[in-house]
Amino acid sequence: MRLICFAAVVALLAARPALACDGGVFAVLYKPDGAVFVAEVNGVPVAESLDPDATFTGTSRLTPWITTGVNEVVVTTATPSENGIVQVLLNCPRAAPGNGGGAVGVARLDAAGTQTFTFDAPAATTLELPYSDAVHEGNEGLAAKVAALQDAFRSRDVPTIVSDHETMLEVAAVMGRPMKKEAMSAIFAKVLPTADIQYLDDYEIHEALGGRLRIVTGPDRSTAPVMVNGKGFRMKSARVWSFIDGEWRLVAQ
């Protein structure tokens, strides 16, 4: 399903005051309740629902996609829902002195259009990641890397696929979600032979996180160059890249 790009901005939420706490983590909490939407933080898609019958509640940590200082959230709603909502929260440990957590921005999905709000992130809520200093101009060579990864999926070349996901595994480890290459290899070896894999060739490339990242996606901002649908397993790949140490590297699905 393709999201429609709406020119009218139906709501602009004012910037919220900065919140802070030791060990705090920013996250997005969303309940579409039938809304079709995509939410982006600093240009990176972080939450979406393309199913008008969806009733789930989802959450995702924003740490990889925020920067110290002002961060921008853009929520685009194609099909509204009266009770649909997207919130950005600062979650603080219970023992944090002077707990300053809570909602830093809210977008209601009850009207079609685009909503934008900002929030401030203190240095204590950000991490040093492989792409933290990887501001890069231009996209030269990126299309070739995307095509090569697509070819690896087409041929079910698991060693090449895993090798291309190594930087993504580094990011996951910094985030406290480590996965060994052997475990990823085992998953792909099991799933890929019978999976339905779709490829997006007519894609767009967008800068994100102040030029540190490139988002490779379709006009709906939710599709990816590789979309795997296996038994009990779904993933997107080749969507979030960064130019690190002289080459394009995949840093997230």
Q: Report the percent of the chain where pLDDT is more than 90.
A: 71
Nearest-angstrom CA–CA distance, 31 and 1: 19
Beta strands in 164-225 (DSSP E): 196-199, 204-208, 213-217
| Residue in 106, 177, 132, 126 with CA at minimum distance from that of residue 20 | 126
Q: What is the pLDDT of residue 232?
A: 86
Count of Cβ atoms closer than 10 Å to residue 56 Cβ: 10
221: which 2 tokens?
């901002």
Q: What is the pLDDT of residue 122?
A: 86
* Backbone angles phi and psi of 198, in degrees to 5: -110, 145
Q: Which CATH architecture has domain 142-252?
A: Roll (3.10)
Parallel, antiparallel, or unpaired: how do β-strands 113-121 and 69-79 relate?
antiparallel
The mean of the pLDDT values for the chain is 87
pLDDT band at 183, cuts 50/70/90? Answer: very high
Q: What is the pLDDT of residue 116?
A: 96
Count of Cβ atoms closer than 10 Å to residue 103 Cβ: 13
Q: List, for residues 57-99, the tens digit of each pLDDT value.
A: 999 999 999 999 999 999 999 999 999 999 999 887 765 455 5
- pLDDT higher than 80, residue 20: no
Q: What is the pLDDT of residue 72?
A: 97
Q: What is the pLDDT of residue 7?
A: 29
Question: Whole-structure pTM over 0.95, yes or no?
Answer: no
Amino acid of residue 133: D
Q: What is the pLDDT of residue 19?
A: 56
CB 11 within 8 A of CB 73: no
Amino acid of residue 247: E
Nearest-angstrom CA–CA distance, 165 and 188: 12
User: Residue ranges of the domains in the chain?
Assistant: 11-125, 142-252
Q: What is the pLDDT of residue 126?
A: 86
What is the pLDDT averaged over residues 163-177?
92
